[in-house]
Amino acid sequence: MDEQTVQRLNRLNERFYRVVAQDFDESRSNPWVGFAEVVKNAPSTRPLRVLDLGCGNARFASYLSENLEGEFEYTGIDSCPELIYAAETRLCGILTDNFRDFTLIQKDLLKLDELDGLANYDLICLFGVIHHIPGAETRRQLLRFCEQHLADESSLIALAAWQAGDSDRLQKRRLPLPFDPEDGQQPFEEGDFEAGDALLDWKRGAYAVRYVHHTSEEEVGEWESSLGLKRRLSYFADGKSQSLNRYYLLSRA
């Protein structure tokens, strides 16, 4: 995928979350079932240093505060200011003895290399994120960033890959191409996309369109081989079918 298309699709998703932020926050308040296995397999380091990329309304931090034994330190990064505000509101109300403080950063995940002084972490999370990153190389670079910020060999990257391509319900929301995003440029054509890519609509409250990617086993295997990562665990969870997301727990090989 060329850089211009990557940036256009990224802007499309940024616009999507600005439009649907309130509806999205209200519909994404409960924890995912798959979180339990992440916490069960999390490193034993305390306080557990957690980086949540694409943190949204920080519901994973809420889950940690109720289910993790011992203290943790939480840093959440998201590009959407409305969701960062929702996250701050949520987290200020759940501070406890095991969760005393947090850091929230508004930043485009395609520009994480611009952040100065970002620490290393015991657990780096990508929940509901990787399917919004346009382009195979862009996704690989995001995983490289995660690997570079792992604290040590026991640290984990916890990734949930949305299995939108396997859902008949979600495929019915797939938009035909060409599609005009009304950004003053040519409509998106089939040739702009890679295997597993799609545009889906959103009709809960406001109408909006988002770019999504179905992450394949082959792509995850390429990350493992090219970035020196080792798969500790993989499992399906979430949704009525308990197969809406495929989770991968990765560490340095």
Shortest CA distance to 27 belongs to which of 128, 161, 106, 126?
A: 128
Tell me if 206 sits within 8 A of 23, measured CB to CB.
Answer: yes
Average pLDDT over residues 6-11: 96
Shortest CA distance to 53 belongs to which of 104, 96, 18?
A: 104
pLDDT per residue over 84-129, tens digit each?
999 999 999 999 888 988 999 999 999 998 888 899 999 999 999 9
- Predicted confidence (pLDDT) at residue 30 exceeds the cutoff of 90: no
- Rounded to 5°, the CA angle 33-35-37 comes to 95
Confidence of residue 140 (pLDDT cuts 50, 70, 90): very high
Give the residue numbers spanning the domain of 48.
Answer: 3-252
- Predicted confidence (pLDDT) at residue 24 exceeds the cutoff of 80: no
Q: What is the CA radius of gyration of the chain?
A: 18
pLDDT score, position 97: 87
- Predicted confidence (pLDDT) at residue 167 exceeds the cutoff of 80: no
pLDDT score, position 168: 67
pLDDT per residue over 168-179, tens digit each?
666 778 899 999
179 forms bridges with which residues in the sheet?
188
pLDDT score, position 20: 82
Write the CATH number for 214.
3.40.50.150
Number of structural domains (the chain) is 1
pLDDT per residue over 52-92, tens digit each?
999 999 999 999 999 999 999 999 999 999 999 999 999 99
Averaged pLDDT of the chain: 92
| Token reading at 136 | 């195979």
Shortest CA distance to 98 belongs to which of 72, 118, 137, 79?
A: 72
Does the N-terminal peptide bond of residue 134 adopt cis geometry, omega within 30 degrees of 0?
no
Shortest CA distance to 104 belongs to which of 69, 52, 149?
A: 52
| pTM to 2 decimal places | 0.94
Question: What are the start-end ranges of the E strands in 140-228?
Answer: 156-162, 197-202, 208-213
**Range with the poorest average pLDDT among 7-11, 24-28, 199-203, 249-253:** 24-28
pLDDT score, position 25: 65
Cα dihedral 170/171/176/180 (nearest 10) = 20
Q: Residues of the chain with pLDDT > 70: what percent?
A: 95
The helix (H) or strand (E) run that includes residue 232 is: strand 229-237
- Helix 217-227 vs helix 136-148: angle between axes, to the nearest 10 degrees? 50
- Predicted confidence (pLDDT) at residue 205 exceeds the cutoff of 80: no
